Structures are given as structure tokens and as C-alpha cells.
Amino acid sequence: MRVASEKFSLIRGLEDFDVGVFGKRYRSFFEIVAAILEVAADRVNLFTIARHLNTNYMHLRRYLSYLVKNGFIEVDAYGKQILYKTSGKGLEFLRLYNALLEMFLEGAKT
């Protein structure tokens, strides 16, 4: 599984479906969740996730709270540093999400 090495590999190919105001495409709930889970697969801090998603802390904390509460992300504390790691449940979500996205993109090409 590719993880965070490409800029949001999970949304690659969606450029053709941009439908936003002023040329900006807004990310869906599932796109943001999948991006967080991809980045957190390597056990990262809040700053790293925010930087990769290009979002603010307040917005990100709401998503992380939801993901932790529902078992998609695990939290580890090392001294003062809090690290986030994608759980097995989160990795399974990513696998299924990427499979569905590939099916959708293949169907859109035909």
C-alpha cells in the first residue's frame, strides 16, 4: 500500500471532476478521512498531518477526534509529544476506499 509518498495518491485522477467555486475543488468527508489515515500510517504528530492536508488545527482536531473515537486511529504519547497512528481498522478502511475509488475511476474512463 502506498502511503503519503505521493501527494494524496488516493485522490489522484479526480482532477477531471473539479466542480468548485473559483476553480477550487472541495474535499469530501471521505477524502479527508482517507488522507489523514494515509499520512498517519507512519505514526506522525498533528503538525505533520496538518501540513500534508493543508488544513488548520481546529478543523483537523475534529476529524482526529472522530477517527480516534471510532477506532480508526490510535494515539501514543511520548513525553509532551502526541503521535497518531492508523489502526488496523483504519488500514482496512483505506484498502476498501482505494478499491472503490479505482473502480469508480475505471468506470469513468469508459
Is residue 42 classed as helix, strand or coil in its secondary structure?
Answer: helix
CA gap 63, 17 in Å, rounded:
24
Residue pair 16/108 in contact (Cβ under 8 Å)? The answer is yes
pTM comes to 0.76
Query: CB 85: neighbour CB atoms within 10 A?
Result: 14
What average pLDDT is seen over the chain?
A: 83
Q: Which residue has the higher pLDDT, 57 or 1?
A: 57
Residue spans of the domains in the chain: they are 9-109
Q: Which of 99, 78, 108, 87 is nearest to 36 (CA)?
A: 87
pLDDT in tens, 36-65: 999 999 999 999 999 999 999 999 999 999
* CA distance linking residue 106 with residue 55, whole number of Å: 29
Mean pLDDT of 79-91: 96
Tell me the CATH number for domain 9-109: 1.10.10.10
